[in-house]
Structures are given as C-alpha cells and as structure tokens.
Structure 1
Amino acid sequence: MEAKRLLSGKEKKIKRKEVLEKKKAIDEIIKKASSVKDHLVSFPPFCHYERNGLSVCLESGLGDQLAPPVKKYIQNLLKVNMEGPYGPEWQMEEKVKRREMVSPEAHYIFVRQSTNTTSNENLSTKSEETTYPGQTGDRNRLVGFVHYRFIVEEDIPVVYVYELQLETCTQRKGLGKFLMQLIELIARKNHMGAVMLTVQKANVLAMNFYTTKLRYVISNISPSRVDPL
C-alpha cells in the first residue's frame, strides 16, 4: 500500500513563490531579448555572406516598422515558396501569415544582394527569372528573410523561427545553414533554452535540411507526436 504525502500550507506557499519567481525570471529574459532592435550588432562577421557564388549582406528589421515595399516582398515570396506545400490550405494560411509578419514581436533578418563583387552580377542575372512584386528595383534588392521571435514554450525561453524564406537563386548554397547558425548565436547571446520552428512533414526537402544537415530533433510537444484523440 502506497501513501501520498500532501504538502503543508507553508510548503505550498514556498512552492508557489518559486514558480512565480521562475516565471518572472523567464519573462524578464524574453522582455530583454525582445527589446533589442538589432541583434546583428553583436555578430559583425555574420553581416555578410560571400560563398558559393553568392554575395549578400544582412540587415535587421522589426514587424511593426516594415515599409510597404518590404511587406509586399514578404507576401509574394511566401506565396511563391509556400503556396505549393500548403495546397488548398494556403488561402487561409496566407491571412494568418500576413497578420504575423507585422506584429511588434516579429524580428527580421533581411538578406540583400551585395553590389561590391562580381558574384553579385550572377545573382542579379539569375534572379530575373522570377518576379517578386514589391522590389524597389535597385541593385541591393531583397533575396530572402528570416522572421523570428522570442517566446516561452513549456516554461523554456526559446527563439522561434516563424519563417526562413529564400529566393531560388540563393538556395542550396549554404546560406540557409549560415542563417540558422546566426539564429543559434542570437539564442545563446540572449540566454534562450532552445531554437524551435515548425516544418510540414510533406515538405521533405525542409525536413531533411533541419533534421539531417542541422541535426534538429522533433520536439516532444510537436503536433506530429500528439495523439489526435
């Protein structure tokens, strides 16, 4: 026969205080990280990427400070990259993403083609194959972005990557891995416990990228591991 020991009133009070203090500490970590306007300042070597024929520069942005052409660019790149994987669900999902992209909590890393190397000419030529409305037309045009936030998951402060979207001309050249390494550095710098993101199981290329190349593991709270009943 087993007996369960009940906590006394004093023990419950102490326990409750510990829980509240932990929550307060986590909230402070999130608040401090979210208040930083430009996380790239701490990582100068990651402000440029020049490998595999690519020459791009990175810059930071905030969801509630996006210029109209940038908003249009984000919308169209999302449509180009995600309409296929989502299929019939895209129309509803697109509305959700449009709300998410302008949130004050949304942090961005924008990828722009550079103008100081010959590899830039190749990038410019290739990118003409697809039109992304919202571009300004200058040589420092956008070619991708990362949308991330600082949130709490299961009582752990995390960086949650909402979007990692790149134009075709910049894919499979190491840039995606480079950007995720930067996100991981930002997470460590700001005392986050993990980096998290959501990938559709049907998106085989993305699944392989995160699980094989970057060695991410499926979280215990992933919908794919939850019994629908």
Structure 2
Amino acid sequence: MECEDAKVKADRSRSKKPTRQQIMQRKKQIEELIRSAYSSTKDHLSHFPNFHNYNTNNGLSLFLESGRGNKLSSDLKNYIQKLLKVNMEGPYGAEWPAEEKVKRREMSSPEALYIFVYNKESIVGFVHYRFTIEEEVPVLYVYELQLEPAFQGKGLGKFLMQLVEQIACNSGMGAVVLTVQKQNTSAINFYLTKLRYNISSISPSKVYQQMGVIGQEKSYEILCKTFDDEAKAVLEES
C-alpha cells in the first residue's frame, strides 16, 4: 500500500542538509498531523463504509464501531481486561502481572482509539490504536489487536489491519507500527508472512545487532509497514 499526505511530504533531496528552519517547519507539520488525527470530532471508521461490516460466505456477520479510551463503559473495560488476559497471559509468561497493570492504565487514556467488533449477541474483539511519533516519523501505533479465540483464523484480523492501514494513510501517517511478543509465534507469522510487515530498525534485535551487542535480548519485536520513502529509510533501513 502506498500513501502520502500532501501536507507532510518527505524531503527527497539527500544532497543537502536541512536547515534549522526546515527542521522546525517539519516538526510543526508533524505535530499538526497528530493533533488533527486526534480531533474530538473525528470518527475514523466513518470514512470507510466498506469496513463497517464483515461478512463471510459461511454465515459470519459482524459489525464495527469506534470508541475512545476516556469514554469506555465499565462493561467494555471489563471485557478488554478479560480478553487481554485470555490471549496474552501465555505469551507474556512471568512478565504478565506487571504488563497487565500497564495495559489497564493504557486502555482508558484519552489517546486510546478503538475499533470494536460485534456480532448479534456480543462483542468479539477490538483494535486499540494511537497516533504518535517514532524517530520523527508520524505513525499509527497498534497497541492491541485482540479477538475471541472462536473468531480467530477467519480473516477478521487481516480485515481489521487493512482498515488500520487505511486509517493511517488517510491521516497522513508514514507507517503502521506495532509490538509483538516473540513467544506469540502465530502473531509474528501473521504479520510477517500474511501482511508483509517487517522487523523495524528500531526493534531491540535490530538495534543490538547494529551495535554489535551480544547476549542482550528483549522478549518482543517491533514490526512496521511503511508508506513512503522517508518512513522506510528511518524505520526499516537505518
């Protein structure tokens, strides 16, 4: 997928070092992009009517709704906590108790944006994403993609990530970035093989490799899919 916001074009000339004024202008443009993406009047899902429903030939019929972390009901908060525990306690292992506390704080943040997936009876999964800056590149960061076990392996995860990528492009972001536990091998295969994401140059394994550091490993990788040359150079190739 290729996309680029007209307001924030990468400087393609590598023969000249950018001036301080150009650097400051670029910084302001990125900050404005992030502010615009977080506008309280924006419902990102509304821009993509083809993604409001997910229907399959075998009778699966689902619909999507947007949400914000500071407007979650108690029922939604409880659901998020329970599904996270079901899906992530295993991959995190001994790190889960501490990580669970972090995720509990994150989910109610005003910066937490959601896409919730429902069937006729109940909620069956969600995406938690945010707009942020990584290495001076505006990105959409996927904090969570969680589905009920019974709804995994049905193409829904790919559908939701395609939606996320459309939202990123429409908002002028240079990439979609996410973190995945190394123990979660099915998720790593899903992103790298099926969705063609790459291990980012800012992922610990790549950073340690570039530094020549041996024996220091983290339990996670940072993956990305970039949409323009600038983001690619910074998040994949540097």
What is the TM-score with the length of structure 2 in the denominator? 0.78
Give the distance between the partners of 1:202 and 1:224, measured in 2 at CA: 14
Q: Name the counterpart of 2:103.
A: 97
Q: Is the 8 A contact 2:117 2:124 kept in 1?
A: yes
Give the distance between the partners of 1:78 and 1:59, measured in 2 at CA: 19
Q: 2:28 aligns with which of 21, 24, 37?
A: 24
Give the distance between the partners of 1:189 and 1:199, measured in 2 at CA: 24
Which residues in structure 2 correspond to 1:42-191 (within 5 Å)?
42-51=47-56, 52-114=58-120, 139=121, 141-191=122-172
Q: Is the 8 A contact 1:37 1:62 kept in 2?
A: no
Q: Name the counterpart of 1:3.
A: none
Give the distance between the partners of 1:87 and 1:200, measured in 2 at CA: 10
Amino acid at match of 1:75: Q
Task: Name stretches of at least 5 consecutive residues in structure 2 with no aligned partner.
Answer: 1-16, 217-238
Q: Is the 8 A contact 2:92 2:183 kept in 1?
A: no
Give the distance between the partners of 1:53 and 1:99, measured in 2 at CA: 37
Q: Is the 8 A contact 1:40 1:46 kept in 2?
A: yes
Give the distance between the partners of 1:50 and 1:205, measured in 2 at CA: 24
Give the distance between the partners of 2:150 and 2:59, measured in 1 at CA: 10
What is the TM-score with the length of structure 1 in the denominator? 0.81
Q: Is the 8 A contact 1:111 1:142 kept in 2?
A: yes
Report which stretch shifted further, 141-150 or 50-59.
50-59
SS at match of 2:180: coil
Q: Is the 8 A contact 2:130 2:143 kept in 1?
A: yes
Q: Is the 8 A contact 1:54 1:170 kept in 2?
A: no
Deviation at 1:169, TM superposition (A): 1.2
Deviation at 1:53, TM superposition (A): 3.5
SS at match of 1:105: coil
Which of 1 and 2 has greater Rg? 1
Deviation at 1:37, TM superposition (A): 3.5
Aligned residues: 193
Deviation at 1:212, TM superposition (A): 0.2
Structure 1 segments, 4+ long, off by >2 Å, are none
Q: Is the 8 A contact 1:159 1:195 kept in 2?
A: yes
Question: Aligned residues: percent identity?
Answer: 63
